[in-house]
C-alpha cells in the first residue's frame, strides 16, 4: 500500500530563484547576451539557497492507518472480528461499537429488543466491584463474574460482545429498536440486577442474554435457559414464564437450523432447554427473557466453532430468527 512517513516523504519540489536583471543598454546585444548567461547561471544554482524564500515542499498526504488499526488510529475492540473469515462478514456499517438507527420499515418495526452480552472484558480488573453482593429475589449473589474462556484464552466476554453486535445489526435491519446492556463502553459490569432492570425499563418485547458455557471437555452443544417460576422478594417471574418459554423454544429451533450445532448432550435431555431459578438476570426480569449458552468453550470442538467469525455470524442469525419468530416478524 501507499505509505507516507519517515524515509518515504516525496522529494521536495524545487522552485528556482530568479535574480532581477538590470539592463543597462537594451540596444547593446553583447550586454544582453551577458545578462542572459548570468540569469541562467543564477537560476540553476539558486534552488538550494535563499534569503527567506525557503524551498517549497510538497504537502504530505494523509497518513494511512497503521496495520491492525482503524482510520482514527485506534486498535480494534477486544473480541471484535479479526480473523479473515469474520472480516468478510458485514456486522455494523459504522464499526464495532456503533449503533445505527432502526430501519424505517420492516417486520419488527415498533418492537424493542434488549440484548445482554454476558460479563464484560474488563471485569477481571475490577474484582472488588463484581464480587459485591446484590439481591436477586431468592438470595444474594455476586454482582457479576469474569466468565469462562477457551483453553487458548479467547474469553466468554469477548465472544458475547461480538455475537451481540452482530445480532443487533440483524434485528435493526428488520426494523427493531435494539438496546445493549453494555457495548464495551464501561469498564466493568453491569451487575446482574441492573442487566434485568435495563430490559424492564425499556419495556422490551423480548430480552436475551448471550453466554458460552465452561463445562468439562466432551460436553458439547448449546442450550437455552428459561426462567423458573419464582416469587420471592423483588422477584416475580410468574407473568413471564410462558412467554419466555415460547421465546426459548423458537430460539432453539432456529439456532439448530442456522448453525448446525446440536442441543447440549449434558443438560436439557437433548431438548436444548433448561429451567433455572438462580439467575438474577432472569429472576428480576419483568419482560420475556432467556439466556443462550452458545456452546462449551472448554471443549476443543465447540471452541473451534466459537472462535470462528463465520460461525458467530451463524449463531447471531439463528438467534435473530428465533426472536423474530417469537415477535411475529
Paired residues of 226 in beta bridges:
275
Residues 32 and 124 in one domain: no
Q: Of 156, 194, 249, 293, which residue is the catalytic one?
A: 293
Of 65, 94, 120, the position where a domain reaches its end is: 65
79 within some domain: no
Comparing C-alpha atoms, which of 323, 238, 313, 223 is closest to residue 268? 223
Q: Which DSSP category does 138 fall into? A: S
Comparing C-alpha atoms, which of 233, 237, 188, 210 is closest to residue 315? 210
98 within some domain: no
Residues 221 and 144 in one domain: yes
Residues 42 and 124 in one domain: no
288 within some domain: yes
Q: At what angle do helices 156-173 and 309-327 cross, to 10 degrees?
A: 50
The verdict on whether 293 is a catalytic residue reads yes
Cβ-based burial of 213 (10 A; exposed 0-12, middle 13-18, buried ≥19): buried
Task: Give the model's pLDDT for residue 101.
Answer: 52
Task: Give the model's pLDDT for residue 103.
Answer: 52
Of 14, 41, 65, the position where a domain reaches its end is: 65
96 within some domain: no
Residues 175 and 248 in one domain: yes
Task: Give the model's pLDDT for residue 46.
Answer: 33
Residues 132 and 260 in one domain: yes
Cell of 1: 500500500
Range of the domain at 235: 104-327
The total number of structural domains that make up the chain = 2
99 within some domain: no
pTM, two decimals, is 0.71
| 135 alpha carbon, distance to own chain's centre | 30
Cell of 5: 512517513
142 within some domain: yes
Comparing C-alpha atoms, which of 207, 119, 218 is closest to residue 159? 119
CB 171 within 8 A of CB 100: no
304 within some domain: yes
Residues 159 and 282 in one domain: yes
Q: What is the pLDDT along the chain (329 residues), one digit of tens a residue?
A: 322 333 333 333 334 444 443 333 344 334 443 444 333 333 333 333 333 333 223 333 333 333 333 333 333 333 333 333 333 333 333 333 334 454 558 999 999 999 999 999 999 999 999 999 999 999 999 999 999 999 999 999 999 999 999 999 999 999 999 999 999 999 999 999 999 999 999 999 999 999 999 999 999 999 999 999 999 999 999 999 999 999 999 999 999 999 999 999 999 999 999 999 999 999 999 999 999 999 999 999 999 999 999 999 999 999 999 999 999 96
Task: Give the model's pLDDT for residue 68.
Answer: 32
86 within some domain: no
Amino acid at each position: 500500500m501507499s505509505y507516507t512517513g519517515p524515509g518515504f516523504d516525496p522529494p521536495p519540489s524545487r522552485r528556482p530563484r530568479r535574480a532581477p536583471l538590470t539592463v543597462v543598454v537594451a540596444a547593446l546585444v553583447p550586454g544582453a547576451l551577458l545578462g542572459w548567461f548570468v540569469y541562467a547561471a543564477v537560476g540553476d544554482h539558486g534552488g538550494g539557497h535563499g534569503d527567506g524564500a525557503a524551498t517549497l515542499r510538497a504537502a504530505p498526504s494523509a497518513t494511512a492507518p497503521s496495520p491492525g488499526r482503524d482510520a482514527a488510529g485506534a486498535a480494534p475492540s477486544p473480541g471484535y472480528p479479526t480473523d479473515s473469515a469474520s472480516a468478510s462478514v458485514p456486522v455494523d456499517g459504522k464499526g464495532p461499537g456503533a449503533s445505527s438507527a432502526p430501519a424505517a420499515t420492516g417486520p419488527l418495526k415498533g418492537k424493542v429488543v434488549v440484548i445482554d452480552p454476558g460479563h464484560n472484558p474488563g471485569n477481571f480488573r475490577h474484582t472488588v466491584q463484581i464480587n459485591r453482593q446484590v439481591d436477586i429475589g431468592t438470595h444474594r449473589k455476586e454482582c457479576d463474574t469474569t466468565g469462562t474462556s477457551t483453553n487458548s484464552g479467547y474469553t466468554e466476554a469477548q465472544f458475547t460482545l461480538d455475537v451481540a453486535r452482530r445480532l443487533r445489526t440483524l434485528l435493526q435491519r428488520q426494523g427493531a429498536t435494539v438496546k445493549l446492556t453494555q457495548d464495551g463502553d464501561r469498564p466493568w459490569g453491569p451487575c446482574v440486577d441492573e442487566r434485568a432492570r435495563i430490559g424492564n425499563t425499556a419495556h422490551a418485547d423480548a430480552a436475551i442474554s448471550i453466554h458460552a458455557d465452561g463445562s468439562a471437555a466432551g460436553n458439547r452443544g448449546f442450550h437455552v435457559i428459561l426462567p423458573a417460576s419464582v416469587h420471592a422478594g423483588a422477584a416475580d417471574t410468574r407473568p413471564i414464564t410462558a412467554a419466555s418459554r415460547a421465546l426459548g423454544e423458537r430460539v432453539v429451533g432456529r439456532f439448530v437450523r442456522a448453525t448446525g450445532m446440536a442441543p447440549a448432550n449434558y443438560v436439557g435431555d437433548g431438548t436444548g432447554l433448561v429451567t433455572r431459578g438462580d439467575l438474577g438476570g432472569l429472576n428480576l426480569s419483568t419482560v420475556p427473557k432467556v439466556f443462550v449458552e452458545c456452546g462449551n468453550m472448554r471443549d476443543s470442538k465447540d471452541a473451534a466453532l466459537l472462535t470462528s467469525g463465520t460461525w458467530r455470524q451463524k449463531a447471531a442469525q439463528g438467534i435473530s430468527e428465533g426472536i423474530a419468530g417469537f415477535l411475529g416478524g
